[in-house]
């Protein structure tokens, strides 16, 4: 009775005048199932799935499988433990009538909070929920399921061709990355439109559309010099030492590399007579020396965030050139490790944002502006960006991701689910773009 009443209200409301009867039914279904969505969110968040908790990631995958199979998806688990030292990925496929666009949904099941984190359970305070991964991105998984469930109820899922790829290692991708993202790339080549269910961006309380992500590349600079008594520093026989060489390099980075949509951070520096990184990624280490001894070795590590892969490659070459101009008596080298490629804005993705704003208008929601790329970090959708246009941030609204106290806004779940359900239903009736 409640669902029928909601449907009647949706059909008669001026705000929904442009909705078809199935679309209005989707809206009503989503509004009626808010409690069900919250129950699923609690289950997902209360299950720890830190990237290195392989069993926990598999448990979340089982929960998602239990949601997707009743909707008609064929679901399979791709184990990656032996290949990349990560749990694996969940792949799901729904075969429609083959007449509309192929749709790819992207998400991840892992969080940054491992089993030893004190931040473990969901707490609700009205429409605000706090919990590990509630924003990044278990809330997004709930939005995805809510939209698909509404499509099933309205009959629009029947003709939709959809693939879902949920990675188990987005927060710390397994290596080699090409192998870790092979299934996602394959799905991207198949798809005509993609949506990534990371958190929705907002500005001044307004929802904002995202169609780009900056890539992430880590770098390590190692400088060496001749160790000797400090009385000889700068002299012909000793030179400047490793610390001065490293200081020259990173300060030149600061002065010469600045440009739009680019950042480059220095996360760690070590220098002295003896330097010992404790990991291959140089995320920790020890250094020792004395005020009156010239440093023999110095290391700095950081990252590059670029809007396009072309920009990233160009900046890498500029960094190599800077590193190669050594001070007397020193040598230096730089190495790079790509974590995530970039997803530059394209006209194809802007067309999808236009589709989203058409859905907003029909739902009585404000139009969404395009988010500044500088305000979005790296993410999985960038791996498929060379093959398919996509929308970023179609999940829940949240704050404080990656830190204890991470929160999300429950009221954003139905809003986002309605947008997704309309987009997928409409794309499924559009001719393929490939």
Q: What is the pLDDT of residue 4?
A: 45
Quick check: 81 and 168 in contact, CB under 8 A? no
In degrees and rounded to multiples of 5, residue 402 shows phi and psi of: 75, 10
Q: Is the pLDDT of residue 37 over 60?
A: yes
Residues 6+ apart with CB under 8 A from 88: 57, 58, 61, 77, 78, 79, 80, 81, 168
| pLDDT above 50 (res 308) | yes
- In this structure, whether the domain defined by 217-340 belongs to CATH 3.40.630.40 is answered with no
Superfamily of domain 2-213+343-427 in the CATH hierarchy: Zn peptidases (3.40.630.10)
Domain ranges for the chain = 2-213+343-427, 217-340
Tell me what the mean pLDDT of segment 202-216 comes to.
94
- Fold equal for 2-213+343-427 and 217-340: no
**Nearest partner of 46 among 134, 128, 166, 171, judged by Cα:** 134
Q: Which of 46-60, 164-178, 241-255, 279-293 has the lowest mean pLDDT?
A: 279-293
Residue 15 has pLDDT above 80, yes or no: no
Which pTM does this prediction carry?
0.86
Beta strand pairing status for 161-167 and 102-108?
Answer: parallel
What is the per-residue pLDDT for 279?
Answer: 66
- 87-136: per-residue pLDDT in tens? 999 999 999 999 999 999 999 999 999 999 999 999 999 999 999 999 99
Q: Which tokens is 261 given? A: 């949509």
So what's the pLDDT on residue 434?
60
Tell me how far apart the terminal alpha carbons of the chain are, to the nearest angstrom.
Answer: 44
CA 286 to chain centre: 32
At 321-353, the pLDDT tens digits run 999 999 999 999 999 987 889 899 999 999 999
Please say if the pLDDT value at position 8 is more than 70: no
Task: List residues bridging with 408 in a β-sheet.
Answer: 129, 398
| Positive or negative: CA dihedral 86, 87, 88, 92 | negative
Portion of the chain with pLDDT greater than 70, in percent: 95
One-letter-per-residue 3-state SS of the chain:
CHHHHHHHHHHHCHHHCCCCHHHHHHHHHHHHCHHHHHHHHHHHHHCCCECCCHHHHHHHHHHHHHHHHHHCCEEEEEECHHHHCCCEEEEEEECCCCCCCEEEEEEECCECCCCCCCCCCCEEECCEEECCCHHHHHHHHHHHHHHHHHHHHHCCHHHCEEEEEEECCCCCCCCCHHHHCHHHHHHHHHCCEEEECCCCEEECCEEEEECCECCEEEEEEEEEECCCEHHHCCCCCCCCHHHHHHHHHHHHHHHHCCCCCCEEEEEEEEEECEEEECCCCCCCEEEECCCCECCCEEEEEEEEECCCHHHHHHHHHHHHHHHCCCCCCEEEEEEEEEEECCECCCHHHHHHHHHHHHHHHHHCCCCCCECCHHHCCCCHHHHCCCCCCEEECCCCEEECCCCCCCEEECCHHHHHHHHHHHHHHHHCCCCCCC
């Amino acid at each position: 009775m409640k669902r029928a009443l909601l449907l009647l209200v949706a059909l008669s409301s001026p705000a929904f005048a442009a909705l078809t009867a199935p679309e209005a039914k989707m809206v009503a279904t989503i509004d009626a199932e808010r409690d069900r969505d919250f129950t699923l969110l609690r289950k997902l968040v209360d299950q720890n799935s830190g990237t290195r908790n392989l069993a926990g990631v598999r448990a979340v995958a089982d929960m998602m499988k239990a949601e997707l199979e009743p909707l008609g998806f064929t679901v399979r688990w791709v184990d990656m433990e032996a290949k990349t030292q990560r749990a694996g990925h969940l792949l799901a496929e729904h075969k429609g009538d083959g007449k509309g666009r192929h749709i790819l949904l992207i998400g991840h099941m892992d969080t940054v909070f491992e089993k030893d984190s004190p931040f473990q359970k969901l707490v609700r305070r009205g429409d605000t929920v706090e919990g590990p991964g509630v924003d990044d991105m278990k809330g997004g998984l709930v939005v995805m399921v809510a939209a698909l469930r509404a499509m099933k109820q309205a009959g629009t899922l029947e003709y939709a061709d959809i693939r879902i790829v949920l990675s188990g290692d987005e927060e710390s991708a397994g290596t080699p990355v090409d192998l870790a993202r092979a299934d996602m790339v394959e799905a991207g080549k198949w798809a005509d439109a993609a949506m990534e269910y990371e958190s929705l961006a907002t500005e001044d309380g307004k929802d904002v559309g995202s169609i780009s992500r900056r890539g992430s590349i880590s770098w390590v600079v190692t400088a060496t010099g001749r160790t000797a008594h400090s009385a000889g520093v700068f002299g012909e026989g000793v030179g400047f030492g490793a610390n001065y060489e490293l200081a020259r390099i990173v300060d030149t980075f600061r002065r010469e590399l600045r440009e739009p949509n680019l950042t480059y951070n220095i996360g760690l520096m070590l220098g002295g007579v003896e330097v010992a990184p404790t990991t291959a990624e140089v995320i920790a280490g020890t250094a020792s020396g004395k005020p009156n001894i010239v440093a023999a070795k110095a290391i700095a590590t950081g990252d590059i965030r670029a809007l396009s892969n072309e920009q990233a490659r160009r900046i890498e070459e500029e960094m190599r050139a800077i590193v190669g101009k050594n001070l007397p008596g020193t040598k230096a080298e730089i190495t790079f490790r790509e974590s995530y490629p970039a997803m530059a804005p394209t006209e194809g993705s802007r067309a999808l944002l236009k589709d989203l704003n058409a859905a907003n208008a029909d739902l009585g929601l404000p139009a969404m502006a395009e988010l500044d790329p500088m305000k979005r970090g790296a993410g999985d959708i960038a791996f498929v960006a060379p093959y398919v246009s996509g929308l970023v941030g179609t999940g829940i609204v949240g704050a404080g991701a990656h830190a204890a106290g991470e929160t999300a806004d429950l009221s954003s779940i139905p809003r986002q689910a309605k947008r997704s359900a309309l987009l997928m239903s409409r794309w499924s009736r559009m001719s393929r773009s490939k």
